[in-house]
Amino acid sequence: MGFEKRVVERLLQRALDEFDSNPMALQFIRRLSIEASELFFDTALPHLKGHHQSNAHRMLAILMMKRDSLVDEIVSPVNGGREDAIRLFRRFAAVDPSFDVKLARRLPGRSYIGEEALDGPSAARALDVLDETSRGRRLLPIVGHLPNCGDSKLSAKATLFVGKRVQNPVWTAKQLKRPDQRVRASAVESLWGLDVPAALKLLDDCSVDRNNRVAGNALIGLHIAGRPDAANEILAMSRVGADGRRLTAAWALGQMTGDVYLERLTEMVRDENPQVRGMALRSLLALRKPRTVEIGGVSEVSASKAAESVESASEVLSVKSGEPAFVPSFSGATYTVRRG
């Protein structure tokens, strides 16, 4: 039987709408998944990217678990953004609690017979997904080798993944000897929320690091630990001559609350450097949103990742230094800080 995509879309939507009231809907969805498998997958996947939860959506996830290329589809950057991938993964993990292990086994250096390792961008996305969805240390035996891999971006993400679950200052100190600055910044970020003397001493030492990403992550770590001088150091960093330092400060100020930080970010929207202006605007816009900040996961984007977001932020900001700039209103913003 031949099918057209628009026909499959219409039939699937009707079956989903009638799933709880029509006993034939389940049988029809199963038949569709067999007789029009390719179109069924392409049509069903967008339904699972949304937030709506139902028995019908759970059945879609169960049926789609049979597809061999499911993991590749979830973590491929061409199929959507990071949040889409995380949402999709959670759908499938809800019906298969071992799905995180299956994804981790596709990472480079751990693929099994008959399984092809994910490439660089997909592997990096897979680590992002696992970092958000798989708690505890259960995956460490599978991903523990990746901090030492040859891919710089993947190594940095793996360092953060492993470091957050180990939270050991001795382990972090070893990573700080690595030449890759992304890896070093990720190692520092992994100590966020660890309030022990050895960790605080390491953060204190790194707060004056020559690399702006390392220093920025260290200062945020100290801020989380309740060090009042950390905020002053970030404000001072926002006024230095080096563009990279001001860029990191613009990100860091966006992780904090208080009028003085909003005022400084507003000033930085007129910075002479377009990347600094872009990051300042991004931080201002982020501060408008109500958010819950968890210790150990204080930011939407760490200093080690901030540079990756600069281009998109700069596209939003078109003002030149000295020109009037749009400044968002912050009235009514709500912040909830949860410790623990």
Q: CB of 150 within 8 A of CB of 108?
A: no
Residue 331 has a pLDDT of: 30
Percentage with pLDDT > 90 across the chain: 61
* Closest listed residue to residue 293, CA positions, set 340, 238, 260: 340
Q: How far apart are CA 206 and CA 185, in angstroms?
A: 9
Q: Give the confidence band of 318 by pLDDT, cuts at 50, 70, 90.
A: very low
* Closest listed residue to residue 239, CA positions, set 250, 227, 224: 250
Domain boundaries defined on the chain = 1-67, 188-340
Residue 259 has a pLDDT of: 80
Q: What is the average pLDDT across 225-243?
A: 92
- CA angle, corner 213, sides to 211 and 214, nearest 5? 70
Query: Tokens standing for 191?
Result: 């100590």
Residue 112 has a pLDDT of: 57
Does 325 score more than 90 pLDDT?
Answer: no
Query: Tokens standing for 334?
Result: 């709500």
Q: Which residue has the higher pLDDT, 71 or 287?
A: 71
Least confident of 63-67, 74-78, 179-183, 299-303: 299-303
Does 177 score more than 80 pLDDT?
Answer: yes
Residue 313 has a pLDDT of: 38
218 C-beta neighbours (distance < 10 Å), count: 26
CATH of 188-340, one of 1.10.3470, 1.25.10, 3.30.1580, 3.30.70: 1.25.10
Q: What is the pLDDT of residues 18-53, one digit of tens each?
A: 999 998 999 999 998 888 888 888 899 888 988 888
Per-chain mean pLDDT for the chain: 83
Query: Tokens standing for 41?
Result: 């997958």
Residue 201 has a pLDDT of: 97
Does 62 score more than 50 pLDDT?
Answer: yes
Q: Give the confidence band of 323 by pLDDT, cuts at 50, 70, 90.
A: very low
- CA angle, corner 234, sides to 228 and 237, nearest 5? 145
Task: Tell me the DSSP string of 177-220.
Answer: TSS-HHHHHHHHHTTTT--SHHHHHHHHHHTT-SSHHHHHHHHH
Residue 4 has a pLDDT of: 81
Does 85 score more than 90 pLDDT?
Answer: yes
Burial-class residue 255 by CB neighbours within 10 Å (0-12, 13-18, 19+).
buried
Q: Give the confidence band of 103 by pLDDT, cuts at 50, 70, 90.
A: very high
Q: What is the average pLDDT across 158-164?
A: 96
Residue 205 has a pLDDT of: 97
Q: Give the confidence band of 292 by pLDDT, cuts at 50, 70, 90.
A: very low
Q: Give the confidence band of 114 by pLDDT, cuts at 50, 70, 90.
A: low
Q: How far apart are CA 138 and CA 1, in angstroms?
A: 45
Does 3 score more than 70 pLDDT?
Answer: no
Does 120 score more than 60 pLDDT?
Answer: yes
Residue 224 has a pLDDT of: 93
- CA angle, corner 221, sides to 218 and 224, nearest 5? 155
Residue 289 has a pLDDT of: 66
Percentage with pLDDT > 70 across the chain: 82
Residue 53 has a pLDDT of: 86
Least confident of 14-18, 98-102, 111-115, 125-129: 111-115
